[in-house]
Amino acid sequence: MSTLTAARYGKDKVRVFRVVREGKWHHVVEYNVCALLEGKIETSYTEADNSVVVTTDAIKNITYYLAKVSPHILSPERFALHLGTHLVSKYAHIDRAYITVEKLRWSRIAVGAPGQEQPHPHAFVRDGDDKRIVNAEVRVCPLPRPYFPPFSSLFTSYP
């Protein structure tokens, strides 16, 4: 008889693009995100019960939502942790989230007279094929068991 030893699934190639406006100065972020989940999902393979599966559309939509509202969007490391933490805390049967974020490089366009160029506050150009890749693994960690001293030690007699 076959045994399922591990199962991981998720959504790859979620493209995220966001402009963050801070007054006149803007920032551009473009990510390719992959989110893979592990947990108590064996029944989806062994009993054809997909009730434990978080749909790939849900993973994609959560990624888009967090990309829109997350205060950590400018840092791919923090965004990966934010997304992974959200997924493992929202779904009780998910134990781990593996998040990969590829940050594509955008640079400000230089404007001004030759020799006196300044970076434009809100005009950008895609700058080469450089990618910054972040891999994050977020796990559900059970809380440590509290220590309670023996009841008798609470009433120690002193001379």
∠140-45-101 over CA atoms, to 5°? 45
What average pLDDT does range 141-156 have in this prediction? 61
pLDDT in tens, 16-29: 999 999 999 999 99
Give the domain ranges of the chain: 9-140
Helix count (H) and strand count (E) of the chain?
Answer: 3, 4
pLDDT tens-digit map of 59-74: 999 999 999 999 999 9
Instruction: Give me the CATH code for the 9-140 domain, please.
Output: 3.10.270.10
pLDDT tier at 150 (50, 70, 90 boundaries)?
Answer: low
The single-letter code of the amino acid at 89 is S
Element containing residue 79 per DSSP (H, E)? helix 76-90
